[in-house]
Amino acid sequence: MVATLIFKNANSSQNVITLLEQCKSVSQLKQIHAFLIASGLFQHEPFPSKLLLISANFSSSHADYSYRIFCQISYPTIFSWNTITRACANSKNPNRSISIFVKMLNIGVPPDHLTYPFVVKASARLSSIQHGMEVHDHIIKTGYESDRFILNSLIHMYASCGIISCARKVFDEMLDKNLVSWNSMLDGYAKCGDLNAARELFESMPERDVVSWSSLIDGYVKGGKHEQALEIFERMQAVGPKANDVTMVSILCACAHLGVLEQGRSMHQYMIENGLPLNLILLTSLVDMYAKCGAIEEAMLVFRGAPKNRSDVLFWNTIIGALATHGCVQESLDLFAEMQMVGVASDEITYLCVLSACAHGGLVKEAWHFFESLKQPKSEHYACMVNVLARAGQLTEAYEFLNEMPQQPTASMLGALLSGCMNHKRLDIAERVGKKLIELEPHHDGRYVGLSNIYAADKRWDDAKTMREAMEIVGVKKSPGCSSVEISGVLHRFVAHDKTHSMSSEIYRTANLILKQIKRDADYDDQGNFV
């Protein structure tokens, strides 16, 4: 309404331009739009271009409105073409950016050096190597193959589409590389999982910024090399720039996977000391880290200390799931009720979390209520429901539930039922489930070991031996067990039969003493099993 009142005094072009520049919302922009059409000014530059630009700058979620504005312009300038191409490339429908580019070519509007990066970005977001390569051909034909901004976008596009060799070719042929060029190539290697190439490129960079360090760290985290990620971060602290929120999300993820609580706490302190704003992404990562490191109270403190307008469903899902995993069943379900009360819409992940809570608490009736609330349950929800029934000892019901499902049971569903059968000594169902698991995953070592353990528990030693022999025939080897412990901020990792630790002699000596004490206090059968 404010804009409407000012229109009464909008007796010059400058007044309207001032209104556009001071526009604070899409609703105000629409009032100005209506005024321009009613006054006959809409088709006169600079009004259509400015209106389109401001619309495109508001949010990618308003790209449809921007497109409608563009379609009303009788003679769009190249600036307008580029503006709408950019808006669509950043929107939920990047394919429209490609369509606009094709339309430009069809009606004879020549793209310029600003057009191509937006179209290349749209191709990257669509993971469409065909579109990307066709745009690359146009870039060469129109003489823009040496434009650094365009080449950087091509490196990103090829890497995003998994064609890392083409990205490297573009990179190597660049005569005028800048930091963005190096970072784009580094990020490409990291995202494709080629950590050796990423590290080699990183070490050869003439300069590095926080993006460089963050890309390498994230690559190691995504590649499961969490200890190396922490080592790189330590080096970054010593010689590199201060971390940003992107860096810290990766580092907190590494701490969570390793279960290194003390390092996780120090990362939290680092963020506070360096004034990093704790946005929802960082808060969610902190909750996840503390929960996975066993500090559920600290996870709750972070959650409760967050801004009151906690409207992000992922944030709620993380703490609800964490409470369920820690056995805080009622607290988890109470938080779900609070989430609904404050108006945060639950999603399918939320229901996985509350079903997990029901499984931990043996709440079969409540689990059925949540499951039946789902309009279209996914396979993960069926797996959770099987887990609920299996943990509660309702194994016949769980087996029948699997057989009556509208889809084929997955390995996770069968695995949940198998675990319940072993815990409740239902070896008859366990054998059937174990055989199905081997059929589904014939190269999974755990499936053979699981069925072998079932036979051993039933004292069917010949069948247990047959399973071990079947592993050898198929060529499946059992992965060695691995565990880790954090002592005074230092992570110690152990693999079965490992003797590489500096204190392995003392560790084995202590373990043998403990084992002797256990044997004195318990009875064993001839096979070394507890009676």
pLDDT tens figures, 132-145: 999 999 999 999 99
Average model confidence (pLDDT) across the chain:
87
Phi first, then psi, for residue 96 (nearest 5°) are -65, -30
Label each residue of 231-243 as H, E or C: HHHHHHHHHCCCC
Look at residue 4 and tell me whether its pLDDT is greater than 60.
no
Lowest mean pLDDT among 217-221, 226-230, 355-359, 527-531: 527-531
Indicate the pLDDT class of residue 515, thresholds 50, 70 and 90: confident
* 110 lies in the same domain as 246: no
If asked whether residues 89 and 51 sit together in one domain, one would say yes
| Domain-located, residue 390 | no
Same domain, 22 and 127: yes
First to last CA, the chain: 81
**DSSP label at 312?**
-
Q: Is residue 273 part of a domain?
A: yes
> Which residue reads 């065909």 in tokens?
130
Phi, psi of 451 (to 5 degrees): -70, -35
329 in the same domain as 415: no
Q: Is 214 exposed, middle or buried (0-12, 13-18, 19+ CB in 10 A)?
A: buried
Residues 3 and 134 reside in one and the same domain: yes
The predicted model gives 146-160 an average pLDDT of 95
Task: List, in sequence order, every residue forming a beta bridge with 482; answer none if it has no partner.
Answer: 495
Percentage of the chain exceeding pLDDT 90: 59
3-state secondary structure at position 156: helix
Q: Is residue 330 domain-shared with residue 356, that is, in the same domain? A: yes
> End of a domain among 120, 145, 170?
145
> How confident is the model at residue 356, as a pLDDT?
94
Q: Do residues 45 and 139 share a domain?
A: yes
The whole-model pTM stands at 0.79
The one-letter code for the residue type at 306 is A
Question: Which residues are within 8 A (CB) of 84 and not within 5 positions of it... i.e. 6 or more apart?
Answer: 52, 56, 66, 67, 70, 76, 100
Q: Is residue 62 part of a domain?
A: yes
* Same structural domain, 419 and 359: no
Whether 58 and 117 map to the same domain: the answer is yes
In the prediction, which pLDDT does 486 show?
62
Nearest to 464 by CA among 454, 479, 478, 475: 454
The CA distance from 481 to 193, in Å, is 25
* Position 132 in a domain: yes
> Are 139 and 145 a contacting pair, CB within 8 Å?
yes
CA dihedral sign, ordered 25, 30, 33, 34? negative
The CA distance from 520 to 498, in Å, is: 26
Look up the CATH number of the domain holding residue 471. Answer: 1.25.40
The lowest-confidence range among 155-164, 397-406, 416-425 is 416-425
Quote the pLDDT of residue 527: 53
Q: Is the pLDDT of residue 524 over 50?
A: yes
Q: State both tokens at 423.
A: 């815990």
Average pLDDT over residues 91-117: 94
pLDDT of the residue at 24: 83
Amino acid at 36: L
pLDDT at position 473 is 67
User: Is the pLDDT reported for residue 6 higher than 60?
Assistant: no
Rounded Cα–Cα distance for residues 115 and 138 (Å) = 11
State which H helix or E strand residue 449 sits in: helix 445-457
The b/e string for 455-487 (b: 16+ C-beta within 10 A; e otherwise) is: bbeeeeeeebeebeeebeeeebeeeeeeeeebe
Q: How many domains does the chain have?
A: 4
- Judge whether 362 lies within some domain: yes
Q: Do 303 and 323 lie in a common domain?
A: no
**Which residues face 484 on adjacent strands?**
493
Query: 356-366: b or e for each residue (b if 16 or more CB lie within 10 Å)?
Result: bbbbbbebbeb
pLDDT at 304 over 60: yes
Query: What percent of the chain stands above pLDDT 70?
Result: 89
Q: Determine phi and psi for 319, rounding to 5 degrees.
A: -75, -35
**Residue, of 47 and 505, whose pLDDT is higher:** 47
Give, in degrees to the nearest 5, the angle at Cα 228 between 224 and 230. Answer: 105
Structure confidence at residue 9 as a pLDDT band (50, 70, 90): very low
Q: Tell me the CATH number at 57.
A: 1.25.40.10
Are 32 and 19 in contact by the 8 Å Cβ rule? The answer is yes
Domain assignment present for residue 513? The answer is no
| 229, 220 contact by CB (below 8 A) | yes
The pLDDT of 400-416, averaged and rounded, is: 86
Give the Cα separation of 157 and 151 in Å (integer). 10
Q: What are phi and psi of 483, to 5 degrees?
A: -145, 165
| Structural domain contains residue 494 | no
pLDDT digits (tens, 9 = 90+) for 59-89: 667 889 999 999 999 999 999 999 999 999 9
> Which positions ≥6 away from 189 have C-beta within 8 Å?
159, 164, 195, 197, 198, 201, 219
Domain boundary among 376, 407, 429: 376
**Which residue spans within 346-424 are E strands per DSSP?**
none
Task: pLDDT band for 1, please (50, 70, 90 cuts).
Answer: very low
* Cβ(41)–Cβ(57) below 8 Å: no
- Residues 301, 315, single domain; the answer is no
- What band does 5 get if pLDDT is binned at 50, 70 and 90? very low
| pLDDT above 80 for 296 | yes
Is-contact 57 28, C-beta < 8 A?
no
- Rounded mean pLDDT of 4-12? 49
pLDDT band at 510 (very low <50, low <70, confident <90, very high): confident
Position 384 in a domain = no
Q: CA–CA separation, 26 vs 410, rounded Å?
A: 47
Q: How many helices (H) and strands (E) does the chain have?
A: 30, 2
The parent domain of residue 369 ranges over 311-376
Residue 2 has what pLDDT? 41
Does one domain contain both 214 and 303?
yes
What's the pLDDT at 299?
97
